[in-house]
Chain A
Amino acid sequence: MDERRRELTINAVLALGLLAAPLVALAVDEPFYVTLATRVTLLALAGVGLNLALGLGGMVSFGHAAYFGLGGYVAGILAHHAFNGTPVLLGLPGTDQMIVIWVVAMVLAGLLAAVIGALSLRTSGIFFIMITLAFAQMLYYFMLSWPAYGGEDGLPIFLRNGIPGLDTMRPWDMFVISYGVLLAALALFAMLRGARFGAALMAIRQNPDRAAAVGIAPFGVKLAAFAASGMITGLAGALMADLNGFVSPAMMAWQTSGELIVICILGGVGRLFGPVAGAAILVGFETVFGGLTQHWQLFLGLVLLLVVLFARGGLIGLIAGRQRHG
């Protein structure tokens, strides 16, 4: 199992590299790069969510921005009401506690994904892609036109939400929180992939009829995976809003959905650390080429093209070899 060992090595390099980057940045007193590493971490987290649906289940969701943005708005709206001391809904107060926000974001994103999944998983292929896109765009235009929480202008989070015992305003603390959550999500992904659930999900992707013939309920398994996928991406959204101190409908726009797919493809669809590699490449390009030209996405597009043409397994596939053929 040489390929396996190589993948484990590259996973370890990515995990340690992501941890080392902000430490080096702190050592040379460049806190901006700590925040940049946090951004990579959170995009990777959102990607891990999508990877569950896309990588294991073969569900090409072009609407994961909906869950990302919903998570962001949960953080923004709860913090907004906590700041103003006004109730959110039916007398329920807002909160500035991250953990409460995460739970609410995951529950709501999971519910939204379950509803959208229940309607869209009856289709497949291009129709599935378009329906998930349509739902996300509906939500995007809704937030755009809803003035209560800033509409088009978005909603600022004046004070970053907190966790007892940590100073979330310090870049390093915010990074540690994000990194911890990412590792937890990766552990969950690995666990699901190794369990009956993951095997059933991959079996359905390969042949739903054959899977049904051995007692796997294709719709139920896919829906559960889709909802779990939305939950993880929603959690990433809540953290990202806190990192940016701002949430706007742009988080829900189709470009964000596209970015998440690009992250998965660049890193390696279905690979455990694929989204981590993908997010690092994306943010790397954004930072390096974004400083040189406004059209940095042109370079990203070229790399994406090369990956799709010559390295279907993404960066991890390129280094570790093709784990899954076909």
Chain B
Amino acid sequence: MSALLEVEGLEVFYGASQALFGVDLQVREGTAVALMGRNGMGKTTTIHAVCRMLPIRRGAVRFRARDITALPSFRAARLGIGLVPEGRRCFPNLTVTENLIAAARPGLWTLARVHDLFPRLQERAGQHAATLSGGEQQMLAIGRALMTNPRLLILDEATEGLAPVIRREIWAAVGRLKAEGLSILLVDKTLSEILPLADDCVVLERGRTVWTGPAAGLTDEVAGRYLGL
């Protein structure tokens, strides 16, 4: 199967300090990959570099067989990278519908289909995003990313700080998306929740890829050494 996203030897700096020292990862078409690692190991930095929100010093990012290393972020998004950022980051003063249509690009995902996935968003259509609960904001952030009609959905800590019942709802929706054939890159710390969804795992340690393999092959030893479990 061809790789939808290929990251090779990624090195990223914040000013003078280096954050990534060589991250490699691949997401094959139609699969879900879990990007794991303890806090501060470079997961979000990797994702922001992939989404072209951070400059890349060395290494390459290829998406749909195209080098996107130097592309501005809106072009990466238009190519089909849909980001659900950490902490939701909706547009607080826009209504739910405005949040969704602002990102809309032609394709299978429409307002109606997002409402079908998250009926709650239809109920809250005219409300400002700032007035939504955390779980609803997360649904909105996912819906907004879907409205861009992505080929790859990136979820950064999608269920952080949410109640267990909401987490289950979110993961069920993500599972539905995967079943429909959407490629997904997951970043999360809750192994038990993302492992059932993930086909492959990539583990980061101090800005480097230290372990890559099928999710089923993630041994207790690896989890213990790199994830502190």
Contacts and interface: CB of A to CB of B under 8 A. Distances in A.
Interface of A: 1, 4, 195-196, 198-200, 202-203, 206-207, 209-218, 324-326
A216 B98 contact: no
B93 interface: yes
Interface in B136-182: 144-145, 147-148
Contact of B93 (A198, A214, A324): A324
Which 10 interchain pairs have the tightest Cβ spacing? Answer: A215-B77, A199-B102, A214-B103, A199-B98, A212-B74, A203-B102, A212-B73, A200-B102, A215-B78, A217-B74
Contact of A216 (B82, B93, B102): B102
Contacts of A211: 74, 91, 102
Contact of B105 (A195, A202, A215): A215
A196 B102 contact: yes
A195 B98 CA distance: 8
Interface of B: 51, 53, 72-74, 77-78, 82-83, 85, 89, 91-94, 98-99, 101-105, 126, 128, 130, 144-145, 147-148
Given A210-B91, A215-B77, 20 more contacts: A4-B126, A199-B94, A199-B102, A202-B98, A202-B102, A203-B102, A203-B103, A206-B94, A209-B53, A209-B73, A212-B74, A212-B77, A214-B102, A214-B147, A216-B103, A217-B74, A324-B128, A325-B130, A326-B93, A326-B130
A202 B90 CA distance: 12
B101 to A, nearest CB: 5
A222 to B, nearest CB: 12
Given A1-B126, A196-B102, A202-B102, A214 B94 contact: no
Nearest to B77: A215
Contacts of B105: 215
Contacts of B72: 212
5 contacts: A209-B73, A212-B74, A213-B85, A214-B103, A215-B148
A20 B94 CA distance: 35
B92 A199 contact: no
A178 B77 CA distance: 43
A228 B117 CA distance: 36
Q: Which of A4, A195, A209, A213: most chain B CB closer than 10 A?
A: A213
B136 to A, nearest CB: 17
Q: Which of B78, B94, B126: most chain A CB closer than 10 A?
A: B94
A66 B89 CA distance: 38
Contacts of A195: 101
Contacts of A216: 74, 102-103
A4 to B, nearest CB: 8
Contacts of B99: 199, 203
A99 B128 CA distance: 41
A151 B21 CA distance: 65
Nearest to B102: A199
A326 B73 CA distance: 26
Contact of B91 (A206, A212, A218): A206
Contacts of A200: 102-103
A198 to B, nearest CB: 8
B91 A215 contact: no
A214 B130 contact: no
Q: Which of A198, A199, A215, A324: most chain B CB closer than 10 A?
A: A215
A214 B83 contact: yes
A279 B148 CA distance: 40
A326 B101 CA distance: 21
Contacts of B130: 325-326
A206 B103 CA distance: 14
A324 B92 CA distance: 9
A210 B144 CA distance: 11
A152 to B, nearest CB: 45
Contacts of B53: 209, 212-213
B75 to A, nearest CB: 8
B103 A215 contact: yes
A218 B102 CA distance: 12
Contacts of B73: 209, 212-213
B101 A214 contact: no
A230 B148 CA distance: 30
Contacts of B144: 214
A207 B53 CA distance: 13
Nearest to B95: A199
Nearest to A199: B102
Nearest to A215: B77
A126 B73 CA distance: 26
Contacts of A213: 51, 53, 73-74, 77, 83, 85
Contacts of A214: 77, 82-83, 102-103, 144-145, 147-148
Nearest to A201: B102
